[in-house]
């Protein structure tokens, strides 16, 4: 199984800050990595697929990148509505696996 290690598990940042979340895969998965946003009491929402492609309707302040088995989600300018938990997910092989999540809070 591919293990996805997400860091940090939580962070607190100010409005306007640039925020970076990292996901490390235990083995190679090409670019088959997605990012999801989940707000309390809501279903997850798809942000990014193929490591760096934005889903339709997702604002461009979200971006993704890959370096080997390390993947990064960046929020360029944090806004109050970005307060949520973010998950990475690999879809290179079964079982499909998620990272443990990063809770982003606004200072």
Q: Does 34 bind other proteins (CB under 8 A)?
A: yes
Region binding other proteins by CB under 8 A among candidate stretches 11-19, 20-28, 36-44, 76-84: 36-44
CB of 99 to other proteins, least distance (A): 8
Size of interface with other proteins, in residues (CB under 8 A): 25
Sole binder of other proteins in the list 2, 21, 23, 36 (CB under 8 A): 36
47 vs 17: CA distance, rounded Å: 19
Rounded to 5 degrees, φ, ψ at 81 are: -75, -5
Q: Compute the Cα dihedral for 44, 46, 49, 54 and give only its sign.
A: negative
């Amino acid at each position: 199984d591919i293990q996805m290690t997400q860091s940090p598990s939580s962070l607190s940042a100010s409005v306007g800050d640039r925020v970076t979340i990292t996901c490390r895969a235990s083995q190679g998965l090409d670019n088959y990595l997605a990012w999801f946003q989940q707000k309390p009491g809501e279903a997850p929402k798809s942000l990014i697929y193929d490591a760096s492609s934005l889903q339709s309707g997702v604002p461009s302040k979200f971006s993704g990148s890959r370096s080997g088995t390390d993947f990064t989600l960046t929020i360029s300018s944090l806004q109050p509505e970005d307060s949520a938990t973010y998950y990475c997910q690999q879809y290179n092989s079964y079982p499909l696996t998620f990272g443990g999540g990063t809770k982003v809070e606004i200072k």
